[in-house]
Amino acid sequence: MATEIHPLTVELIPALAAHFGRHRNESGVNDIHFMPFLPDDPQGPRGASVDCAFLPLDKCGWQRWFCAQDMSTGNIVGHVDLKSDPLQSSMHWCQLGIGIEGAYRGQGLGERLMSRAIDFARHHEELEWIELRVFANNTPAVSLYQKLGFKTVGVLRDRFRLRGQSIDDIVMVLSIGKTV
């Protein structure tokens, strides 16, 4: 399956929304959760904010999205996003989120998406840290993040409970700039 990675454009937002719907429905299948929401939870992820996705990086609330598109179908099948911290005093940090539909996992797409986001951040000197969170039972994702240089800085035990399943949340960071 040939996939290409593109920065989010206004034209891609409907395809990205469709991807979120498909991806969201996969969480919890076989008791493997990768987001802290059940598929029908109205508090679930809302996706890209058109108002924030194109803000300059010196404005609180900025977001940057990169989409993996299956070139045979035109569908968005994976994404990675970087989001600023909401506090001006923490603008040297950003948070990373990633999601890949099941049929596209295990093919290197996650590493390609992550590398694109890390490269973007490294080319913006105002950014010095990338933070992410990952469920402890998502061992393929934890391994990928470690391979890319992320370090575990904490584990939130029993952070989420979905359908009676206790889920630990790992906090990982990557230093991409000068640190004090």
Any idea what the CATH number is for the domain that residue 121 is in? 3.40.630.30
161 occurs within a structural domain? no
Residue 50's domain comprises 3-128
Q: Quick check: helix, strand or coil at residue 95?
A: strand
For residue 157, is pLDDT > 80? yes
140 occurs within a structural domain? no
Stated pTM of the model? 0.91
101 occurs within a structural domain? yes
10 occurs within a structural domain? yes
Q: What is the torsion angle, in degrees rounded to the nearest 10, for the CA atoms of residue 20, residue 97, residue 63 and residue 89?
A: 150
Decide: 76 and 62 in contact? Cβ < 8 Å: no
What angle do helix axes 139-147 and 109-122 make, rounded to 10 degrees? 40
Instruction: Give per-residue pLDDT as tens, 74-98.
Output: 999 999 999 998 899 999 999 999 9
155 occurs within a structural domain? no
**In the chain, how many domains are there?**
1
Decide: 88 and 60 in contact? Cβ < 8 Å: yes
149 occurs within a structural domain? no
For residue 135, is pLDDT > 70? yes
Q: Quick check: helix, strand or coil at residue 85?
A: coil
171 occurs within a structural domain? no
Q: Which amino acid is at 169?
A: D
87 occurs within a structural domain? yes
Where is mean pLDDT largest: 37-41, 53-57, 100-104, 147-151? 147-151
